[in-house]
Amino acid sequence: MEARFYKNKETNEVILSLEEINDEKYLLLKANDTDAALEKHVPEVTVEGNHVHAVVGSVIHPMTEAHHIAFLCLVTDQKAEMKKLDHTGKPEADFVLADGEKPLAVYEFCNLHGLWKKEL
């Protein structure tokens, strides 16, 4: 399963699509394509049984209104699940896998530095 993230050029909203979008108002985002600190942007992921915990950065990413992680997204062999984050919270999320489901990647979106991905 391939997840694609697009940014609406008019509203700056980021959406997840499992299909290609051919619309000029959407820009396809590329992961890990920004010159920014890797240690603050690449998700750190632990998988224990059916539980997946993702936190942004080996050095925890700041969470302020001006600079924050907008969402984390887990992509598996069965689905993609996005969790929106509030700038007043922590840059982390928990996900639950179904029996037999395999995690493939975790994405995060920084409002200043773009999309980042950790392959699992």
Two tokens, residue 116 = 């980042």
State the average pLDDT over residues 64-71: 97
Domains in the chain, please, with CATH? 31-119 (2.60.40.730)
- Give tens-digit pLDDT for 25-43: 999 999 987 778 888 999 9
Which has the higher per-residue pLDDT, 50 or 2? 50
pTM: 0.93
| pLDDT > 90 in the chain, percent | 89
Residues in the chain: 120
- On the question of pLDDT at 65 being above 90, the answer is yes
pLDDT score, position 36: 80
- Residue pointed to by tokens 């224990």: 48
Count of CB atoms situated within 10 Å of the CB of 64: 9
